Structure formats: structure tokens, C-alpha cells
């Protein structure tokens, strides 16, 4: 490992940095290593949605191994979101980035970062993790469910080159990961809440089998979103999509 983050391996083109990380993990590799590609031909986001990577944008996946159980390991998606928010603030100024549950990074109200964490069991009983991060540095997709933006739209100078952006992202990820290891999720929840989008506001949570509406209160101790329903009860949202400003 370098002084501030794991090594980076850069490729001109891959089908998907996360797919490459999975192939390596299933072949027995454990990392930690960042895998990045200038172009992804078959990138994907949450719930199998496509994630296109044009030249000038960042596509990177951290392959790592953890002894944490799956539920705790999933908290690294919040770590990745904080690191990406730090990257946005570095490029665009403090306060440019806000975080929408569970791990969307919004830049001036529009999505600029996608995060996907995948995992699997190793023969030694530990988990391998592939923490995928896609950042719209130069280009934003048009055919998406929610409005997107790119760093370049908010910068007078050209956006950072993908490898330069990855240096910042990888360094900040390591900072937050160490906090997670030494202080637990509370440190991550505090950092996330300070940048949270929509807490205290009404929202609609679209769950796998139903939709609920209420007020987003806060993160729970495990990263679930606490939603106060109209009847006063609390619903813990652990998986699903959350929409603000539409209810």
C-alpha cells in the first residue's frame, strides 16, 4: 500500500471495473487494489441499471477483503459516498456535494456519482468486496431516471483527469475507512448526516414489494433510514429507492 491508499491499476478499456474485480476475487485475489478504466463498455449501477462511462469520466472499483460480516461490510457504501463527496468538494468548493440515502452523491441537486458495492465469500471465510464508484467528471448522461450533472458543468477550468480524481477519491476513502474500522459506523453516520440531503423532509420510499411515505428522520445505527410514517410509527428502510420533493 502507498502512503495514503492502495495501489491503482489503470486500463484503457474494460467491460466493467466491478466485473474485473469480481473475476479477480473469484480467482482468489484479495487486494486491496483500485481498478480503473478510461472506458467501460458494460458498466452497471444499482439494481442492474446500466452506467455508461465516457472518456473523461471516472470509473473505478476497489477490490478488498474484510473480516466484517456482510451487514457491516455493506456500510462501506457510505464510506464510498463520503469519499466521493470529498472529491466533489475538492473540485467544486465546500458544500457542493450532498448525500441522498443510501449512497447517491448530488452536486448542486443533481446526481453526479454512482456507487455499487458487491461482495462474495472467500475460501478462508472472509468476504471479498468490490466497491465501485463512477463519477461524472466531464460528461453527464441524458437518458437517466433522475437529473444528472457533471463536475465540468460547474467549473470554469477543465475538470480533473480521471486518474487525478482517483488519487483524491482513494485517499479520502482510506481516511473514512480507517475511521469506520477504529470508531465504528457512528463516525461514518456523523459525517454522512452533516452532508445529508432530505433529512426532516417528506419522502417516498419505493421498497421491493411496496411503497411508503413519511418524513426522513435520520440514519439508524446500522445505516438504515428511519422514516416516520403519518400514523407516528417508524419504518426502517434498509433497501429501496427514496424520492424527495415529490410527495
| CA–CA dist 222, 108 (Å, integer) | 27
In contact, 90 and 82? CB cutoff 8 Å: no
**82 within 8 A of 105, measured Cβ to Cβ:** no
pLDDT tens per residue, the chain (247 residues)?
445 899 999 999 999 999 999 999 999 999 999 999 999 888 665 545 555 566 899 999 999 999 999 999 999 999 999 999 999 999 999 999 999 998 899 999 999 999 999 999 999 999 999 999 999 999 998 767 778 999 999 999 999 999 999 999 999 999 999 999 999 999 999 999 999 999 999 999 998 889 999 999 999 989 999 999 999 999 999 988 899 876 5
Q: What is the DSSP letter of 14?
A: E
CA distances to 71, 97, 213, 227 from 111, rounded to whole Å, are 26, 9, 22, 22
202-244, CATH topology level: SH3 type barrels. (2.30.30)
For the four alpha carbons of 7, 131, 158 and 85, in that order, the dihedral sign comes to negative
> In 3-state terms, what secondary structure has residue 31?
coil
Cell numbers linked to 25: 476475487
CA torsion, ordered 68, 123, 47, 219, to nearest 10 deg: -10
Domain 8-194 in CATH 3.30.930.10? The answer is yes
Provide the residue count of the chain. 247
| Domain range list for the chain | 8-194, 202-244
pTM value?
A: 0.92
Contacts of 69 (CB under 8 A, 6+ apart): 127
Amino acid at each position: 500500500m502507498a502512503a495514503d491508499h492502495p495501489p491503482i491499476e489503470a486500463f484503457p478499456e474494460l467491460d466493467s471495473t466491478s466485473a474485473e474485480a469480481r473475476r479477480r476475487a473469484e480467482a482468489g485475489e484479495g487486494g486491496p487494489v483500485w481498478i480503473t478504466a478510461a472506458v467501460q463498455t458494460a458498466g452497471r449501477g444499482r439494481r442492474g441499471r446500466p452506467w455508461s462511462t465516457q472518456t473523461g469520466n471516472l470509473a473505478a472499483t476497489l477490490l478488498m477483503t474484510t473480516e466484517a460480516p456482510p451487514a457491516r461490510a455493506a456500510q462501506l457504501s457510505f464510506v464510498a459516498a463520503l469519499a466521493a463527496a470529498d472529491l466533489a468538494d475538492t473540485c467544486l468548493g465546500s458544500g457542493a456535494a450532498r448525500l441522498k440515502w443510501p449512497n447517491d452523491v448530488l452536486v448542486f441537486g443533481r446526481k453526479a456519482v454512482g456507487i455499487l458495492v458487491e461482495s462474495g465469500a472467500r475460501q478462508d471465510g472472509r468476504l471479498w468486496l468490490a466497491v465501485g464508484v463512477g463519477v461524472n467528471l466531464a460528461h453527464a448522461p441524458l437518458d437517466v431516471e433522475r437529473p444528472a450533472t457533471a463536475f465540468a458543468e460547474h467549473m470554469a477550468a477543465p475538470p480533473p483527469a480521471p486518474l487525478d480524481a482517483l488519487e483524491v477519491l482513494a485517499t479520502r476513502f482510506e481516511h473514512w475507512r480507517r475511521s469506520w474500522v477504529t470508531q465504528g459506523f457512528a463516525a461514518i453516520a456523523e459525517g454522512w448526516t452533516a452532508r445529508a440531503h432530505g433529512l426532516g423532509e417528506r419522502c417516498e420510499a419505493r421498497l421491493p414489494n411496496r411503497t411508503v411515505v413519511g418524513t426522513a428522520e435520520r440514519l439508524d445505527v446500522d445505516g438504515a433510514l428511519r422514516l416516520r410514517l403519518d400514523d407516528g410509527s417508524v419504518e426502517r428502510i434498509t433497501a429501496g429507492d427514496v424520492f424527495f420533493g415529490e410527495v
